[in-house]
Amino acid sequence: METAILLLSCPDAKGIDARISSFIWQNEGNIVHFDQHVDEEFGRYFARVEWTLEDFRLPREGIREALLPLASELRADWRIHFSSERPRVGIMVSRHLHCLYDLLARWKEGRLRCEIPLIIGDKPDGEGVARMFGIPFHHLPVDLERREEGERRQIELLKREGVELVVLARYGKILSPLFVEEFRNRIISVHPSFLPAFPGKDPFTQAYRRGVKLIGATAHFVSEEVDEGPIIYQDVVRISHKDSPADLVRKSENLEKISLSEAVRLYCERRILVYENKTIVFE
């Protein structure tokens, strides 16, 4: 059953819930999910509204225009999605393949509603996995001294394939501001720590040295500052003095793959809004 999904944020005011839900009711839509949130610090309203299109009076292509006057009056940032549309996702990978395996297995089993037209590797390691799942693999190494040139080829390829979301499945290179700007709030990465603890290089050694009793993983949107972007999902697992740095790596892989796949799923189901370096995730 097809649904429309409205993602909207605007300055808070009286009557927003009423006006949005009345718009849908007047057009004979049946609301399946109405999730809203008011951030009191920012005085801002956020909503995700999903309704069935079965008896809806407006045709799909007319909804956007019909919503324009209301949205403009509310001074809203907004997007409308349809459950039948699947975002095109490009995956980038380096040497560690557990996240790639997990994403592709879920996708193959119908658990991620997206298209995956390509996988890009700055190392050749991911090629075998890509071939197993029948997805084109592009080995595009990025020379740190000529990063922009390498990235330009990656961006070009991603755009040519109509990629909406870029997923860094333990991709090893830091992206330039140019790349980030090109896919603002549309690049999801996973960091093997409970951010903001242990950002940057070698979080396992950092965690081992500090003697923490839990380790974590963090899926987040990529911003210009490394490991500082809006957090989407985090998970942790208990460890003890018995765990060597190698054990931490192994335990972390479970967290990384589940956090990243979960974040990608939430994006594909249009459940994430970003505002001021934070996410509102309507689960």
For binding to a second copy (CB under 8 A), which residues are involved?
14-15, 17-19, 21-22, 24-25, 28-34, 36-40, 46, 97-98, 101-102, 105-106, 108-109, 111, 132-133, 194-198, 210-214, 216, 230-236, 238, 240-242, 244, 250, 253-254, 258, 277-281, 283
| Residue among 111, 97, 224 nearest 169 (CA) | 97
d(CA 18, CA 173): 47
Cβ at position 124, least distance to a second copy in Å: 16
- For a second copy, the closer CB: 166 or 215: 215
Look up residue 242 and give its amino acid: K
Whether 82 contacts 5, CB under 8 Å: yes
Q: Which residues are catalytic?
A: 227
Look up residue 264 and give its amino acid: V
How buried is 179 (Cβ within 10 angstroms: 0-12 exposed, 13-18 middle, 19+ buried)?
buried
- For a second copy, the closer CB: 163 or 248: 248
d(CA 27, CA 53): 10
Q: Which helix (H) or strand (E) holds 100?
A: helix 98-108
Residues in the chain: 283
Cβ at position 92, least distance to a second copy in Å: 18
Cβ at position 91, least distance to a second copy in Å: 15
Give 187-208 as a DSSP string: EEEEESS-TTSS-SS-HHHHHH
d(CA 204, CA 59): 53
Sign of the C-alpha dihedral, residues 162, 165, 170, 171? positive
* Distances, alpha carbon 104 to alpha carbons 21, 26, 116, 248, in Å: 37, 42, 9, 24
- For a second copy, the closer CB: 150 or 203: 203
Report residue 226 as tokens.
């490394």
- For a second copy, the closer CB: 40 or 143: 40
- For a second copy, the closer CB: 46 or 179: 46
Report residue 36 as tokens.
């809203």
Whether 134 contacts 144, CB under 8 Å: no
Cβ at position 8, least distance to a second copy in Å: 14
- For a second copy, the closer CB: 21 or 176: 21
Cβ at position 151, least distance to a second copy in Å: 27
Cβ at position 211, least distance to a second copy in Å: 3
Report residue 232 as tokens.
């989407």
